[in-house]
Amino acid sequence: MNFSLRLLCSGLLILSGFFACSNASSQSTANTLPGLGDSPPDAGPPATDLSPAFKKKYVAQALRKVADWQLNRVREQYSQDWTFAALYAGFMAVPPAVHGNAYQDAMSDMGRQFNWQLGLRPEHADDQAIGQTYLDLYELKHDPAMLAPTHARMNALIQHKDNPQHPLWWWCDALFMAPPVLSDLSKATGDGKFLDFMDREWWITSNLLYDPHFHLYSRDASYLDKHEANGAKVFWSRGNGWVMAGLVRVLQTMPATYPGRPRYVSQFQQMAKAIAALQGTDGLWRPGLMDAAAYPLPEVSGSAFYTYALAWGVRNRILDRQS
């Protein structure tokens, strides 16, 4: 069962990345990239060789089918953009028994194509997210070329001067993009300064955007006083999905003895409880978490992130399986 949950987690990261690419905001430069937000004129018939049964062989089969399709789709148009970061992380999470080495080789090709460089904006979290994959590959291969550009960029980043009213990570999605890079880098280098910087910046963002009553994040400060048609606060599904996945990615590499770790575990547990209570009867979540009727169409990217995070929490005994 644990291996099945691992397969599920890696598959859901791939799906999260796929849906994030497909639903990229028109406000982002991502919508100008090839292969994003498009739909084939004929998607073909539904797959007939898959099973919904939660067994290792069926989960592995579905994971291979989705991952192979997605890799073939993006192989000729890799990007350093944030919309690809969750997809790359998903490829890296595929176990070797499910063709994982082939996906990792593809990610090595991607990294070499970009000379292991991050995006162009030095302090923007979206342009740092690809570093998660570079660092995953470094952990496997110990090639200094994979590490050096991210190490240099983060060394510069930690000189950033804090302004609690204008956080470095001012939108909640950023908590998936940058913090895992810093946590991974701290592990790779053995230098705690990167984890300490991440810890400080995380709680600056949390203090501004996290609602201690509802245990959910506002997308950014402009949403703190926005309300749904039913009067409830606006909490965006995918935005909170990014945060929960970010918490998972940070907790995976944060030492068990790190003094601030219990705060992350507590926030993860609080959010998981809140999210579980908002799940629709069809198993999915809606774009507006507090007013499902206002946006009745299921929100698949947020749902994929939530399922990934909840499955990881159960597998690692941070969350209770029954609740």
DSSP track, 298-322: -BHHHHHHHHHHHHHHHHTTSS-S-
Q: Judge contact between 321 and 12, C-beta under 8 A.
A: no
Rounded CA gap, 290 and 269, in Å? 19
Please give the Cα distance from 250 to 248 (Å, whole number): 5
What is the DSSP secondary structure assignment for residue 167, as one 8-state letter?
A: -
Give the length of the chain.
323
> Exactly one of 126, 127, 136, 173 is catalytic; which is it?
173
Distance CA 300, CA 19 (A): 7
- Check: CB of residue 24 under 8 Å from CB of residue 38: no
Q: DSSP secondary structure string, 33-49?
A: STTSS---S---SPPSS
Q: Is 173 a catalytic residue?
A: yes
DSSP calls for 185-231: HHHHH--HHHHHHHHHHHHHHHHHHEETTTTEE-SBGGGTT-B-TTS
Tell which residue, 127, 133, 173, 174, has the closest CA to residue 153. 127
User: By the 8 A CB rule, do 24 and 36 touch?
Assistant: yes
Helix orientation angle between 82-93 and 100-113, rounded to the nearest 10 degrees? 140
Residue 155: CB atoms within 10 A of its CB come to 14
Distance of CA 44 to the CA centre of its chain: 29
Which of 154, 147, 133 is closest to 90 using CA atoms? 133
Note whether 174 and 125 are within 8 A (CB).
yes
Known catalytic residues are 173
